[in-house]
Structure 1
Amino acid sequence: MKGHIRERSPGRWAIILDVPDPETGKRRRKWHSFAGTKRQAQEECARLVSLIRHGGYTEPTKTTLASYLDRWLDHVKTGVSPKTHERYAEIARKNIVPLLGDVTLSKLKTERIDAAWTKALESGRRDGKGGLSPRTVHHMRRVLIKALNQAVTWEMVAKNPATASKPPKVERKQMGAYGATTTAELLEAVRPTRIFVPVLLAVLCGLRRGEIVALRWRNIDLERRTIAVVETAEQINGVVRLKETKSGLARVVSLSSTVVEELRAHRVRQAEEQLRLGLRLDDDAFVYAQVDGRLVQPRSLTHEWSRITAKLALTRIRFHDLRHSHATQMLAAGVHPKIAQERLGHSTIAITLDLYSHVMPGMQEDAAEQVDAAIRRAVKPA
């Protein structure tokens, strides 16, 4: 196994390697460009020769990161959900490619990637109005690591340079939530609007946006006062599809008397509305629907929430934060976290505790007192 260097210009070197062809056994020459001193070029040549001998050598490729990411996105399409693939494609093509897309895979180094993250934080917005959030850059890094791991598997690069890049610090965002008084004010304010029932189901039942959009009357038992949450709506490129819930498990949510009364009244109004259009409301109909009964796009619900609440004298929160409001009100009232987990549809109680333990009153104090009381009873003389 041989290799030597040749000076092309001051500080620029060609590293020429004799690489055996795995099929014919004949030697082929592979050229690598290198910038640095002669000593550094010799060391790099020795390193590459060592990789060839020990089976770790990867032939240089002229494939740019942009073209590689397109290939990778096609490869992973069948292995992830359509929503996940849409998010991968958006991050790769709109965020990563403008910063690193013209770099060839063989020349993509950790230093260059770190510089890209810094630039993204400072001026990465496509509208030119500043930088991207640390959370967005964190997602960019995760997608690039995942993509380049596949390049290592395909032997297009010897190692993944994104793994060693420094992730931005992401501060945990404080969740918005309404208290009981504000929740009551909100419900009265949106009662005349079409989003009243979605708001009711989010803030008093803890349903997610997609679960509300996908909810049908057959999933509601007003006599037993329960809702069966069995599917959710997902919007991809303007197309809505129904799929299993986020946790992959169906759940049953008990309804308060207030919610039951409001749903009864809503069904009557909806039936009258559709009857005027010559339609008959049945159990297969969506609870929250367009005037003609068609499925509502999840993003349309979000836009309507933003439009209506912008006119209200209430603290602005996201529609998803109505679900957080339900959770915090439950736990602050002393409801057991296991019950909260079941109503919210979290896959494990650990998720519930991690998200909401800060709102459970006196947990630390109660724990200390209970342990102290147990020890006192144990050491109390007979």
Structure 2
Amino acid sequence: MRKRANGEGSVRQRANGRWEGRLSFLDPATGKRRSVSVYGGTAAECRRELKKVRDRIEGGQPVKDAPDTVGAWLARWRASSLAASDRKPTTKSLYDSLSRTHLERAAIGAKRLDRLKPSDVEAMIVALRAKGLSDSTVRQVYTVLRQALDVAVRDGLLASNPVAKVKRPTVARKEATYLSPADVSRLLDAARSMRYYLAVLLMAATGLRRGEVCGLAWSDVDLSKGELRVRHTLSRVDGHLVLTGPKTDRSRRRVPLHAGVVTELKAWRKQQVAERLAAGDQWTDTGVVFCTELGTMVDPRNLLRTVELAAKKAKIEKVGAHTMRHSAAVAWLESGVHIKAAADLLGHSSISITGDLYGHTSDDMARSAVDGLGAALGL
């Protein structure tokens, strides 16, 4: 065995012709002396590998990356770090599902942590796109893997995160689809006989999200002032309806109410009181504005069904989950409402989000703008 300088380890040729490098070091975690071996086809290759080990030790990194598979680590991460995090229940549920479906069961899940390369991550992104997944889903899967492996680095299983060396997948921003005020009015007329008509009207008049409307409590509504506070959102998580706080501070907001909406809400409250009396001891006191005949909370999907049924009845196409919200936003902007005010009403974290989603004008608005400038120029 050929000795190297102090602290550099030793290199020797094995009987099979390959070379082995061996290094002794003090494990800071246990305070005990340990040794590690590396192998190569030549002595020079072994010395290079030993240098990598020394660099890792000096940098406070694990001597070797863990041989666990990516899938096995992700399963442990879901059960520990993800479960213990302060993320919203909806986010935890989403990350759990993305990990199980698109990572642990995929080719990358069978890779060993100590052999995972940035090119493997890039191959995963290509495979996800080939499956026809949306840009946003591909980006979310990337985010889950990166966050899980950040924890592996923290726990000393990896020296560095190979996912961090791959550029985050981009998401092509799409302008929101919306209805004209006339079509919104037609849809509302078609929904008037349906139980959750007022919830749809509230979305159309305030731009609130479905979950925000379903999570709205009477204590959040001030009918005398004509305003409401958005403090909760209702979502379905793992088969259960869960009431949580809004995702961002900007989503916690005050929203003024039109006088016509206030009148409708007063009438709805009287109807709810009557339903409570009729239900007797079967009533569940949730305190929410929109509830079932027995007081229980309403799944946000029911509001979507109401919108879709009304749209079908009114023969209006291209109606989706956020149609009422998008239509309100576009109507505000096209009526001259400042984009900052619209962003505040919508609860967007920045006006750039509002601009990306609604930064367009209708043909009539574009023509009006051009004609107005032409008149100012004396054309």
User: TM class by shorter-chain length?
Assistant: 0.7 to 0.9
Distance 1:147 1:8 in 2: 41
CA change 1:311–1:168 in 2 (3 A) is farther
Counterpart in 1 of 2:124? 116
CA change 1:93–1:314 in 2 (3 A) is same
Distance 1:217 1:95 in 2: 41
CA change 1:272–1:107 in 2 (3 A) is same
SS in 1 for 2:102: helix
What are the within-5 Å matches in structure 2 for residues 33-48 of structure 1? Answer: 41-42=45-46, 45=49, 47-48=51-52
Counterpart in 2 of 1:294? 296
Distance 2:358 2:238 in 1: 33
Counterpart in 2 of 1:17? 22
**Cα distance, 1:260 vs. partner?**
2.5
**Cα distance, 1:256 vs. partner?**
1.9
2:269 alignment partner, one of 232, 243, 267:
267
Distance 1:281 1:304 in 2: 23
Which fold has the larger relative contact order, with Cα–Cα distance below 8 Å and residues 6 or more apart in sequence? 2
**Cα distance, 1:349 vs. partner?**
4.2
SS in 2 for 1:112: helix
Counterpart in 1 of 2:347? 345
**Cα distance, 1:320 vs. partner?**
2.0
Counterpart in 1 of 2:206? 205
Gaps of 5+ in 1: 124-130, 374-382
Q: TM-score normalized by structure 2? A: 0.80
Counterpart in 2 of 1:320? 322
2:35 alignment partner, one of 21, 28, 34:
28
**2:103 corresponds to 1:96:** yes
Question: For the aligned residues, what is the CA RMSD?
Answer: 3.6
Which amino acid is the alignment partner of residue 238 of structure 1?
G
What are the within-5 Å matches in structure 2 for residues 41-120 of structure 1? Answer: 41-42=45-46, 45=49, 47-52=51-56, 54-55=58-59, 56=61, 58-73=63-78, 74-76=80-82, 77-99=84-106, 100-120=108-128
CA change 1:228–1:111 in 2 (3 A) is closer
Which amino acid is the alignment partner of residue 268 of structure 2?
H
- Once the two structures are superposed, what CA deviation does each residue of 1:81-124 show, in whole Å capped at 9, x if it has no partner? 2222222211112111122222221011111221122112213x
Counterpart in 2 of 1:380? none
Which amino acid is the alignment partner of residue 51 of structure 1?
D
Counterpart in 2 of 1:136? 137
**Cα distance, 1:31 vs. partner?**
4.6
Q: Give the paired residue count.
A: 357
Between the aligned residues of both structures, percent identity stands at 28
Gaps of 5+ in 2: 1-7
Counterpart in 1 of 2:255? 253
Distance 2:142 2:12 in 1: 35
**Cα distance, 1:63 vs. partner?**
1.6
SS in 1 for 2:162: coil
Distance 1:49 1:344 in 2: 53
CA change 1:21–1:185 in 2 (3 A) is same
| Aligned partners of 2:286 and 2:296 also within 8 Å | no
- Once the two structures are superposed, what CA deviation does each residue of 1:105-147 show, in whole Å capped at 9, x if it has no partner? 1011111221122112213xxxxxxx32222111111121122
SS in 2 for 1:162: helix
Q: TM-score normalized by structure 1? A: 0.79
CA change 1:180–1:46 in 2 (3 A) is same
| Aligned partners of 2:56 and 2:159 also within 8 Å | no
Distance 1:275 1:28 in 2: 77
- Once the two structures are superposed, what CA deviation does each residue of 1:225-255 show, in whole Å capped at 9, x if it has no partner? 2223332223321222333333336433222
CA change 1:283–1:206 in 2 (3 A) is farther
**2:181 corresponds to 1:185:** no
Distance 1:27 1:246 in 2: 47
